[in-house]
Chains A and B, each alone.
Chain A
Amino acid sequence: MNYPVELQYSRDHEWLRMEDGIAVIGISDFAQSELGDVVFVNLPEVGDDTTAGEPFGDVESVKAVSDLVCPVTGTVCEINEELLDAPEKLNEDPYGTWIIKVENVTDTEDLLTAEQYEAECTH
């Protein structure tokens, strides 16, 4: 299981990377492995508001449908449309595959470091 140190993590298994004030969000390697093969991703629209700790979309795998929980409050400025046709990218490369980008970030959940997140996942 991979936990890149340059990323921050939420307890709901999303990862977050800040790029020039914009929050780039995806799901962790642990999340994709627990979900199993992802078959569908439900994304918000550009311009939608997100709230830290609230769902912004969902992922459907062969096992279950799970909420995608946003670690930040802000406005969606970009969505990864490639996922609509190729949801398997989340399994193949969870850290290379971002899901949404959020701007005007005003609030952020208490996030975990890679080390803390790994401890959460393996305890």
Chain B
Amino acid sequence: MKLIFEKSVPGRHCDLLPKCDVDPVELPEGFRRETVPALPELSEVDLARHYTELNHRVHGVNCGFYPLGSCTMKYNPRIDEDMAALPGFTGVHPLAGEKHTAGCREVLDTAAKYLCEITGMEGMTFQPAAGAHGEFTGVLLIKQYHASRGDTKRRKIIVPDSAHGTNPATAAMCGYEVVNIPSAPDGCVDLEALKAVLGEDTAGLMLTNPNTVGLFDENILEITRLVHEAGGLCYYDGANLNAVMGVVRPGDMGFDCIHMNLHKTFATPHGGGGPGACAVGCKAFLKEFLPHSALMDEPGHLQVRAFAGNFLVVVRALTYLLTLGREGIPEAAKNAVLNANYLMRRIQGSFEPAFDRICMHEFVLDLSEYKKETGVSALNVAKSLIDYGMHPPTMYFPMIVHEALMLEPTETESKETLDWAAEIFRELYELGKKDPDFMHNAPHQAQIARPDEVRAARQPVLRWQKG
């Protein structure tokens, strides 16, 4: 299909913006651009058809099952969108003054209160734009804490090798040396490996629990105790909070600060490039280091983004929290875990789980034996699923499992959908044995079957240019 720029016809237009009802102001000389921007010119019907055509070519949670492990692709209730579309929220300006922003402040304060209760934290900011930005903010809290005590010898952040790639990247961005520790065979923290690297130079530990293979680390209290004993702080990566929200609190596990991907766990459509939003929470002794929530250039205060962050995502998160309530939040977490275990056991016997034990909200299939036997890889199975109208699971992650397929069904899928999905996995298992070539060439129905990822990575074309 053509890009919107290629559909542009000079002089064609539509009136989607209201007429300007204030006097126009000329920009000062230095701020004006010198060339006219190459914006596409289309009529409203062209525009509607363009986006409808795009809509037909993508697969979202609204289209079908989307078990993309580690991404929590749950269905996001419409009411969250309705609340975020209220004109009182969409029309507000951050400099409008207290009288006009009191309602918005109440949203932020109420969301902070509930999220503190869920995580066992005592302070919260919504300033970071999304997950990795939140990690950056959280680790800066740790850094400021050590600096405030004159403890300058703490240069190292410990990250298990099963962590999300953003963890070591965050620690490095904050100026720390990253110490990777190997995981135990089950992906949990190897206590001996942890003890071996802890010391006077330990600034902190970054951890996800449940971890990246979907297992709850049973040694968590011992892990955080050891880090604290060495004088370090514990950072909780909230990537997998969906499995435990309202059931067990990171604060009670011994973590000092945490980030939550609001768009992921608390229901904003995600995966399309944003906006996301991140809440960073901390224990009381770190509160003084949190970013100021509203004003720019507060001296001595951390500022990671303008004003209160991506406010409308917080509105969605608060709506989600209020709709589910104190009973619904833990129920969602428990159903996420139940669904993952149910799907894992229904698939087992064909493709085998990498860890044969009760999982949390997601699980990993290990196809390395299957690939040896049939020549059909995790990639081939993932590609084949597209023909069934299912989004493929996450592939080749975590890296500690070879030929990994990682499935996270989420709590919003019904038993019927899970049964259907399990049947397809079992069907593909048999098909790969009989007709591996068919799977090597899958998908057979998709608009785009196998894009040239290698060329895309080696010679990326990131910007449309007038031909």
Which A residues are closer than 8 A to B by beta carbons?
Answer: 34, 37, 39-40, 60, 62-65, 87-88
Known contacts: A62-B453, A65-B165. The answer to whether A39 contacts B458 by CB under 8 A is yes
| Nearest CB in chain B: distance from A8 CB, A | 23
**Is there contact, CB below 8 Å, between B165 and A39?**
no
**Is there contact, CB below 8 Å, between B457 and A39?**
yes
B39 within 8 A of A: no
CA distance A39 to B455 in the complex (A): 8
CA distance A65 to B458 in the complex (A): 14
Which B residues are closer than 8 A to A by beta carbons?
Answer: 165, 396, 399, 402, 453-454, 457-458
CA distance A57 to B402 in the complex (A): 23
Residues in chain B near residue A39, CB distance under 8 A: 454, 457-458
| Nearest CB in chain B: distance from A29 CB, A | 16
Apart from A34-B402, A40-B457, 17 more pairs, CB < 8 Å:
A37-B453, A37-B454, A39-B454, A39-B457, A39-B458, A40-B458, A60-B457, A62-B453, A62-B454, A62-B457, A63-B396, A64-B396, A64-B399, A65-B165, A87-B458, A88-B454, A88-B458
Residues in chain B near residue A40, CB distance under 8 A: 457-458
| Nearest CB in chain B: distance from A60 CB, A | 8
Residues in chain A near residue B454, CB distance under 8 A: 37, 39, 62, 88
List, sorted by A's number, 9 A–B pairs whose CB atoms are closer than 8 Å. Answer: A37-B457, A39-B454, A39-B458, A62-B453, A63-B396, A64-B396, A87-B458, A88-B454, A88-B458
Residues in chain A near residue B396, CB distance under 8 A: 63-64
CA distance A63 to B457 in the complex (A): 11
Residues in chain B near residue A63, CB distance under 8 A: 396
Q: Return the 3 tightest CB-CB contacts between A and B, nearest first.
A: A39-B457, A37-B454, A63-B396
CA distance A39 to B452 in the complex (A): 12
CA distance A34 to B457 in the complex (A): 18
Nearest-CB residue, chain A, relative to B165: A65
CA distance A48 to B84 in the complex (A): 53
Residues in chain A near residue B402, CB distance under 8 A: 34
| Nearest CB in chain B: distance from A101 CB, A | 25
Residues in chain A near residue B458, CB distance under 8 A: 39-40, 87-88
CA distance A54 to B457 in the complex (A): 27
CA distance A64 to B453 in the complex (A): 13
| Nearest CB in chain A: distance from B171 CB, A | 15
CA distance A88 to B458 in the complex (A): 9
CA distance A47 to B396 in the complex (A): 36
| Nearest CB in chain A: distance from B384 CB, A | 19
